[in-house]
Amino acid sequence: MAQLLAGLSIITREPGAGMVNVTALPNQASTAAVSALSALQQAFAISRIGGQLRLLDRQVIREAQQGSPTAAVHFIKKQDADLILKRFIESLPIPIVKPADVVNSFWLSPNTIEYHRLAFHSIPQPADTLNLWVPHTVVPTQGCWKIIEDYLVDVICAGDLALFDYLIRFLAHALQHPEEKPGIMIVLIGAEGVGKGFLVRLLEALWGATTLQVSDIAAITGNFNAGLERAFWVALDECMFKGDKKSQDRMKSLVTEPAIQVEQKYEPSRTIESFHRFIACTNHAQWGQIRSDDRRYLFIKVSDCHKQDTKYFSQLSKALNDGVTVSALAYYLINLDISKFNPRNKPQTAEGFEQKRRSLSGFARYWYEVLDKGSFDLGGDHYPAGSLSYEEELFVSSHTLTRKYKDYNHIAERYESIQGKTIRDEIKVLCPSADTKKRQDNKRGFLFPKIEVARNEFETYIGCTVNWDE
């Protein structure tokens, strides 16, 4: 590695050559070059993140590490960087004969700070890692935070104390173990004005510098997602997945994957460990297409008990800014015993089932309604209503079941090719205890268990308890 011989010479290496050229300088010029090089090294650093040589502004890095929301760390191409470095030298009150030589020494000197990795990590990183982590800035102080506690219990959790217990420990986990990714995303569903957004404001009060709000899902699931680079909490406001399977699949990965790739236009892509916490707020009844086996999302139906209650939310806003309440909450969260808490052991919620129910399609949706209504007759004119009720063990021929499903799902009859094998495969998953039978009259079909058994198996399939009596 080429280096600057202090006070004597500038060492350069010819491209592709093994020889090192030493250019002797007069003492005054040499001293000036050393001073200029030192100034460059104080102001700038080198990045080889993503395998590309780039220039970084150290002042911007310091501002970013101090939590400045306007500090944007850019990875500057060498061609542009050389011009920036020369102009910087020329701005110094130092007479430099050959700025290009100093710039060359900057790139080659082992004393120039050089980063090989990017991180956003609460744990100290090696010297060659650019760590953009910003800790929470709230000073925990023992005190009263009851107004926030009541809001979380009454509004967010709608009086569900088990849900509140999980939520408060989820927040405590973020403060106590920021180095652990929970793998769970909270989705708040409720009408406008019920107070969903106040929870995001609370997160900003605790983690203001590292809370990213987005209203366009492409900002985190698209090609240019550099906003995630310095985010701990990511709040999605009305970011829907209406038929956008690609974005929804990408979102699932962001929630659970231990490392993610971030990109900024005209800059090298880079990989960082992910400790992100995700929360979404929506006014819509259905947030997206949720798979029956999905365990990533905690859906919460927010209470409307304080809908459009401006006085109530004004009091909450004052509490956020009184310099006492949030500090008291932080003190409680940091000191809460979460030694037995596992964020992935999330509680079941009625809204969780509702989102999965709304996402059911095809035969799975038909089967749910059979179990819900206790009858295979859900539409069409081929069979009289109630002719095939379902409570006890019941044999249903393949022909009859196919016809009844087609009667229920007219769209499937028009646009899908419904085959007996498809239905058999579905039943094996939805109701494993159903037995394929051939009766004495040679009719083939299914012997279904008692409806209680079938309902239990459906609950296993969908991963939720269903209130069948409702």
Across the strands, what pairs with 10? 4, 23
Span 112-163, pLDDT tens digits: 999 999 999 999 999 999 999 999 889 999 999 999 999 999 999 999 999 9
Residue 321 token pair: 């800014």
- The answer to whether 189 and 287 have CB atoms below 8 angstroms apart is yes
What integer pLDDT is reported at residue 103 of this predicted model? 95
Instruction: Decide if 146-355 and 360-462 have a common fold.
Output: no
Edge-first strand listing for the sheet containing 4-5: 4-5, 9-13, 20-24
At 5 the pLDDT is 36
Q: For domain 146-355, give the CATH number.
A: 3.40.50
Reported as type and span, the H/E element at residue 459 is helix 451-462
Provide the pLDDT confidence category of residue 22 given band limits of 50, 70 and 90: very low
Q: How many C-beta atoms lie closer than 10 Å to residue 31's C-beta?
A: 15
411 pLDDT exceeds 70? no
Query: Which pLDDT score, from 0 to 100, does residue 180 have?
Result: 97
The 3-state DSSP class for residue 419 equals coil
State mean pLDDT over 75-88.
95
pLDDT of residue 17: 36
Q: Over the stretch 290-312, which tens digit does the pLDDT of each residue have? A: 888 888 999 999 999 999 999 99
Q: Which amino acid is at 133?
A: W
Q: Is the pLDDT of residue 15 over 60?
A: no
Average pLDDT for 177-203: 96
Which CATH code of 2.60.40, 1.20.1300, 1.10.10, 3.40.1580 fits the domain covering 360-462?
1.10.10
Computed over its alpha carbons, how large is the radius of gyration of the chain? 31
The pair of three-digit structure tokens given for residue 127, joined into one six-digit string:
């010297």
Q: Across residues 403-411, what is the average pLDDT?
A: 80
- The DSSP result for 376-402, as a single string, is S--S-SSS-TTTTB-SS-EEEEHHHHH
Is residue 302 within 8 Å of residue 195, measured between CB atoms? Answer: yes
Question: Could you give the CA distance from residue 124 to residue 367 in angstroms, rounded to a whole number?
Answer: 53
48 or 28, greater pLDDT: 48
Please state the domain extents for the chain: 4-114, 146-355, 360-462
CA 356 to chain centre: 20
Residue 412's pLDDT is 56
Question: Any alpha helices (H) in 193-324, and if so which ranges?
Answer: 196-207, 218-221, 245-256, 310-320
